[in-house]
Chains A and B, each alone.
Chain A
Amino acid sequence: MSAKQEFVDTVKSGKVLARKCTKCGELHLATVYYCKKCGNKGFENAILDGKGKIATYTIITVSPAGFEKYTPYAWVVLKLDESDLRISGFMAGIKTPVDLPIGTRAKITGFDDRGIIIEKQ
């Protein structure tokens, strides 16, 4: 199985497959091949909980093709609780900034043709 497929399968269970550098311990999302901090090529899997806080977001009203039927929706950047890693994805049902103050608790809930799905906790 490809690293990306393994990552997607993990996301579907609400978790994040991270890769921890065996030399310096730096965490990366699953598809990295060399450590960004020390250049090492060795990694071990680290399964992180997909819960965190909204770091930033936008509410899309003019969408790329395939997303028209979901507008308005949010595209969000989630800062995970257990590390400095952030992960981006699609959030349905957001109409105004009042619906999603920065810092709102949210979690990964799945993956489909809208990419990584994130919902408010």
Chain B
Amino acid sequence: MEKVCVLGAGSTKYGKLDDSISDITIQASVDAIESAGIEPKEIKAGYISNVFGVADKQVHLGPVVMSNLGISEKPSLSIESACGSGSVAFREAFANVYAGFYDAVLVTGVEKVTHTGTEWTTTYFSYCSDFFYEGGAGASFPGLFASMARAYLNEFKATEEDFALVAVKNHDNGFLNPKAHLRKKITVDDVMKSPVVASPLKLYDCCPFSDGASSVILCSEKFAKEHSKDYIQVIGSGRGGSPAALQGREHLTTIPSTKIASDAAYKMAGISPKNVDFAEVHDCFTIAEIVDTEDLGFFEKGQGVQAVREGQTKRNGQIPINPSGGLKSKGHPIGATGVGQVVEVFDQLTGKAGERTIKGAKIGLTHNFGATGASCAVHIFQSV
């Protein structure tokens, strides 16, 4: 098996973008290629993740990207796995380089939905749920996570103000990220006074709908060494699944796929959660970050809120979570998010994160899931 490295990374800004889905996908891809210092013809295959290309009149994005890079003869794979699409594309690319099929590949994730408006996005996103029981009975995505939040409030010593602290922390981080969608600091009071979307979650507990694209170049260690640019190594990769509907899960405050994927990734990397210096986790809603940090093994079940109160997940805390601003502040272009998390880890571990830099960090983790965690991928990276 080959050692797999990330050689370059690029992203568009996240937010409301005017350019087409094809244009932003290609822009991010070119950024990653230039960051890696390679020529497009050195790329052996492309992995392109996206969910709602139909909203901007372009599906089958793979060949469009490859054609615009001047390598139309190269194979591509267009991938959909709801909000976890990016990390699934990354995983498929990783597996192929790991197995020795390709020595350098492009992974680009993209989403372009803001032009469709809140009702369209709320409705179409609900198709990612187990629709018969959830979306088809009126559950929005905020609603599904709100029902996890309600169960958490009932089971553990937690308050809505505790959840708000996650949003405040992630906005503090995103304020320092020039690519972030919502670059403004907020207070607990701002969160508590924002309109209720799905009780107990309020508008500022929710990530925004975003447009954006992110891209990385994955390659063998040999290929990385032949190019003189900075690179990081992928030391762990894991995937897992959960019952598609919340009702089928043993606990309503745990996402099984996170545990399965992270256990596999930790095992492959030969490390435990305490060896991780920082993590980019799937905080589509504030409750999600609390649940994620427990399921990833950073805190005991029910202790995630106490950790947030104590500031343990801030940039200068014991285990910084979402230094990029996370989905909450950086934004959540759903097909791009999983790749965007890798871009942040690459920037952090190669000294490109500016004011957001986690001092002395050597090991970073990404955690990204689809829907309410019905599918999940976790990756672990190390500086070289």
Contacts and interface: CB of A to CB of B under 8 A. Distances in A.
A40 interface: no
B138 A115 contact: yes
Interface string B163-200: 00000000000000000000000000000000111111
A58 B195 contact: no
Contacts of A77: 147, 246-247, 252
Interface range, B side? 35 or more
B276 interface: no
B333 interface: no
A64 B122 contact: yes
A3 B197 CA distance: 35
Contact of A58 (B126, B135, B198): B198
Contact of B140 (A60, A87, A88, A90): A60
Interface stretch (A18-26, A41-49, A65-73): A65-73
A88 B201 CA distance: 19
A60 B142 CA distance: 9
Interface string B332-355: 000000000000000000000000
B352 to A, nearest CB: 37
Given A63-B140, A87-B247, A56 B147 contact: yes
A88 B245 contact: yes
Contacts, number: 105
**Interface of B (DSSP majority class):** helix
Nearest to A31: B132
Nearest to B200: A97
Nearest to A96: B199
B247 A86 contact: yes
A86 B198 CA distance: 21
B139 A75 contact: yes
Nearest to B243: A36
B136 interface: yes
A59 interface: yes
Contacts of A58: 139, 142-144, 146-147, 149-150, 198-201
A70 B139 CA distance: 12
Contact of A115 (B136, B143, B199): B136
B327 interface: no
B384 interface: no
B101 interface: no
A56 B254 CA distance: 14
Interface of A: 4, 55-67, 70, 73, 75-77, 86-90, 96-97, 102, 114-116
Across the A-B interface, give the 8 residue pairs with the lowest CB-CB distance, nearest first. A115-B137, A58-B146, A59-B199, A86-B247, A56-B151, A75-B139, A65-B123, A88-B133
Given A64-B135, A65-B119, 16 more contacts: A4-B132, A55-B252, A56-B151, A59-B146, A60-B143, A61-B196, A62-B140, A62-B197, A63-B122, A64-B122, A64-B126, A70-B138, A77-B147, A77-B247, A89-B133, A114-B138
Interface of B: 118-120, 122-123, 126, 132-140, 142-144, 146-151, 154, 195-201, 245-248, 252
